[in-house]
């Protein structure tokens, strides 16, 4: 039952004005536009259980904002009611139906006694035409709100650090001068004179089509002088570094920086359609930053002692701050953390091999879980294993040679903050130090003879990557696993049932379901209660549809391309995942600055209204993804 209490401004004008100013898009509207809404709106009461509007043959008539209470969206399918979403304080609806001038597909019901602000469709349409911020909100919906939260987060961090450019902009935007280049037959002396006159430390060698074929730097000169002496008439082609790493002009700055760090290069050649456009040195990207990504990567690779790596781990926190300030996306930041952690693992392996003796057999160091997916935050533990080749009759003897060495690697990683895995998923444990044949047998038993206990224990292994060693062999095994899982309905069913045990912390009465006691009261765990359900659903659907990618975002994108998910749904799930990851990264940064132990527990009451609203919407997307997964797997 609906009851119109009043025109919005009759008795509640000032209180409604304050309320609307707390919520988007009304916080951005000019006063005249807000006054228009207040003068045209109605405050309407809906008794618990009453229907605001239902699917019909005509377009929806009104635009709503929840002033008090909650509204639930329900769809009637297969003679059952399916809850699609809940709408809480300050939220507006039904934007998609109004913008599409169509009927709604969902029945909207008052979950409890509820007050809504209500406007006629014509008033909504007028404001869409005349108000740019309102139009952006109506068109962007949740995506627009997520973008606004991202801007706020970026501004918050930038306000502390200062920000000179965005890591998302094209690398060509940093090219400030025409490139200095030479032909391959130019002499060393003439090239050095050209570099001196141009005040540069590098020069690109090109062919007749202006395509880069080499690069020559002052570092090359110093190295070659020691080895070969001064040869002023030698052609520069004999002194250059051939086949330089080149990138296209539209590559984001972040990706270029990551490539420089991975390859250990100090100069990057920028091309447009393969032709030389410019050259960037690492200082061009990082000159105004307080920390140099390439230098950090170099420090890791060149560390001579384990304790030298400790400073690199601590520097990661500063780097995350800088990337947030420069607009890097969550998956870019977690990818960077994982890549640098990979380098730390590789360096620890080298240092332990030098101090404790190197393994006498070839091996592959595996990572599982978030490191394999490249979704690590600062607070993370080890999930790793060892893969070696051995004949059946020598497998145990070879394993016993590896175990003490692998245990020492695990110990040193723990000392650097990559803490012991509480589940014992570490290369120094017998169950994770296996021959290639044993790994294959282990997976075969799990997939072909599944039980809930086996699947629960082993699910982390289905996100797997080689950090060092036989990458091709590991990829071959992953492809075999995909083939097996597509043939085993019962395995996928158990995997799905396990994934559905973790539900997002949305409350029936309050917005969120929170802990009542413990060390962190009134919180929920961002990792296990919000992010993990997305990770697990994406994994289940990827295994179901033969998608070989490992990262959650890439799985969602690939699922859309093979009809494993609707493209619009996959994009919404990815946006939710990215935002939840950003919240987790921001939480860790705040804890780090306060000198607190890092954890994943978030108190939603500490968020502003916009962030709370987006958090609710993200968790609703998690609910939708779980329903989507269950439906597509057949539960």
pLDDT at 5: 58
Residue predicted with more confidence, 459 or 2: 459
pLDDT at 467: 95
Residues 6+ apart with CB under 8 A from 118: 41, 42, 43, 44, 62, 63, 64, 65
| CA nearest to 114, candidates 30, 50, 187 | 50
Phi, psi of 326 (to 5 degrees): -100, 15
pLDDT tens digits, one per residue of 420-458: 988 889 999 999 999 999 999 999 999 999 898 888 878
CB-based contact 131:564 (threshold 8 Å): no
Per cent of the chain over pLDDT 70 is 90
| CA nearest to 163, candidates 327, 280, 316 | 327
pLDDT at 290: 42
Helix, strand, coil percentages in the chain from 3-state DSSP, rounded to 5: 55, 15, 30
In angstroms, the CA 255 to CA 174 distance is 14
Q: Mean pLDDT for the chain? A: 86
pLDDT classification of 595: cutoffs 50, 70, 90: confident
Helical pair 609-633 and 532-545, crossing angle rounded to 10 deg: 30
The residue with tokens 């009104």 is 62
In angstroms, the CA 47 to CA 32 distance is 32
pLDDT at 469: 92
- b/e 479-515 (16+ beta carbons within 10 angstroms → b): eebbebbeebeebbbbbbeebbebebbbeeeebbebe
**What tokens does 283 get?**
């200082």
Q: Mean pLDDT, to the nearest integer, of 542-561? A: 94
In angstroms, the CA 451 to CA 456 distance is 9
Q: Determine how many CB atoms are found less than 10 A away from the CB of residue 206.
A: 19
Is the model's pLDDT at 6 over the cut of 70?
A: no
pLDDT tens digits, one per residue of 77-127: 766 777 777 888 888 999 878 887 888 888 999 999 999 999 999 999 999
**What tokens does 338 get?**
């994982």
Residues 6+ apart with CB under 8 A from 302: none
- Under DSSP, the state recorded for 529 is I
Residues 6+ apart with CB under 8 A from 91: 23, 65, 66, 613
CA 217 to chain centre: 36
pLDDT tens digits, one per residue of 179-198: 899 999 999 999 999 998 88
- Flag whether the pTM goes above 0.75: no
In angstroms, the CA 285 to CA 235 distance is 31
pLDDT at 140: 62
Phi, psi of 538 (to 5 degrees): -65, -40
| CA nearest to 285, candidates 302, 260, 262, 263 | 260
For the chain, domains (ranges, CATH) are 2-161 (2.60.120.10), 171-286 (3.10.580.10), 293-487 (3.30.460.10), 496-633 (1.20.120)
Residues 6+ apart with CB under 8 A from 45: 2, 3, 4, 5, 113, 114, 115
pLDDT tens digits, one per residue of 207-243: 999 999 999 988 888 887 877 778 889 999 999 999 9
Among 61-65, 250-254, 478-482, the range of highest mean pLDDT: 61-65
Cα→Cα distances 289→285, 320, 343, 582, 604, Å: 8, 12, 22, 21, 32
């Amino acid at each position: 039952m609906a009851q119109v209490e009043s025109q919005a401004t009759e008795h509640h004008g000032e209180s409604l004005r304050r309320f609307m100013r707390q919520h988007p898009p009304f916080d951005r509207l000019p006063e005249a536009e807000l006054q228009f809404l207040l003068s045209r709106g109605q405050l309407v009461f809906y008794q618990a259980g009453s229907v605001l509007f239902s699917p019909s043959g005509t377009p929806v008539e009104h635009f709503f904002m929840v002033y008090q209470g909650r509204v639930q969206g329900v769809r009637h399918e297969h003679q059952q009611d399916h809850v699609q979403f809940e709408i809480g304080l300050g939220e507006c609806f039904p934007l998609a139906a109004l913008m599409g001038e169509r009927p709604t597909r969902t029945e909207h019901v008052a979950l409890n006694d509820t007050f809504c602000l209500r406007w006629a469709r014509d008033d909504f349409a007028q404001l869409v035409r005349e108000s740019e911020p309102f139009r952006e909100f109506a068109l962007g919906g949740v995506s627009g709100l997520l973008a606004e939260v991202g801007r706020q987060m970026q501004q918050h961090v930038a306000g502390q650090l200062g920000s000179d450019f965005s890591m998302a902009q094209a690398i060509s935007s940093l090219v400030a001068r025409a490139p200095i280049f030479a032909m391959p037959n130019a002499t060393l002396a003439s090239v050095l004179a050209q570099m001196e006159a141009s005040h540069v430390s590098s020069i690109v060698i090109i062919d007749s089509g202006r395509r880069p074929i080499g690069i020559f730097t002052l570092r090359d000169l110093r190295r070659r002088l020691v080895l070969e002496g001064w040869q002023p008439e030698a052609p520069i082609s004999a002194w250059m570094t051939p086949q330089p790493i080149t990138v296209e002009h539209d590559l984001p700055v972040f990706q270029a920086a990551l490539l420089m760090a991975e390859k250990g290069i100090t100069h990057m050649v920028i091309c447009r359609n393969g032709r030389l456009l410019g050259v960037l040195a690492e200082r061009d990207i990082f000159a105004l930053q307080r920390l140099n990504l390439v230098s950090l990567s170099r420090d890791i690779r060149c560390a001579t002692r384990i304790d030298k790596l400790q400073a690199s781990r601590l520097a990661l926190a500063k780097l995350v701050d800088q990337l947030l300030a420069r607009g890097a996306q969550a998956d870019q930041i977690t990818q960077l953390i994982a890549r640098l952690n990979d380098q730390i693992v590789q360096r620890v392996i080298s240092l332990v091999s030098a101090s404790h003796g190197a393994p006498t057999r070839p091996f592959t160091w595996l990572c599982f879980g978030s490191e394999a997916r490249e979704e690590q935050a600062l607070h993370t533990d080890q999930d790793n294993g060892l893969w070696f080749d051995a004949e059946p009759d020598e497998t145990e003897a070879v394993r016993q040679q590896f175990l003490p060495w692998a245990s020492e690697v695990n110990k040193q990683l723990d000392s650097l903050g990559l803490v012991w895995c509480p589940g014992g998923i570490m290369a120094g444990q017998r169950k994770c130090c296996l021959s290639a044949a044993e790994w294959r047998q282990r997976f075969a038993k799990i997939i072909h003879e599944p039980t809930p206990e086996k699947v629960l224990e082993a699910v982390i292994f289905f996100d797997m990557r080689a950090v060092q060693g036989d990458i091709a062999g590991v990829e071959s095994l992953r492809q075999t696993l995909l083939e097996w899982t597509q043939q085993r309905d019962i395995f996928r069913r158990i995997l799905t049932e396990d994934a559905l045990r973790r539900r997002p912390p949305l409350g029936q009465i309050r917005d969120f379901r929170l802990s009542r006691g413990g060390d962190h009261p009134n919180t929920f765990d961002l990792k296990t209660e919000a992010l993990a359900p997305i990770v697990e659903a994406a994994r289940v659907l990827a295994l179901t549809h033969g998608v070989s990618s490992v990262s959650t975002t890439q799985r969602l994108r690939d699922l859309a391309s093979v009809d494993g998910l609707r493209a619009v749904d996959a994009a919404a799930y990815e946006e939710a995942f990215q935002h939840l990851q950003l919240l987790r990264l921001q939480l860790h940064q705040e804890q780090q600055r306060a000198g607190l132990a890092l954890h994943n527990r978030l108190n939603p009451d500490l968020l502003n209204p916009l962030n709370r609203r987006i958090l609710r919407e993200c968790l609703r997307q998690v609910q939708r993804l779980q329903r989507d997964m269950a439906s597509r797997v057949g539960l």
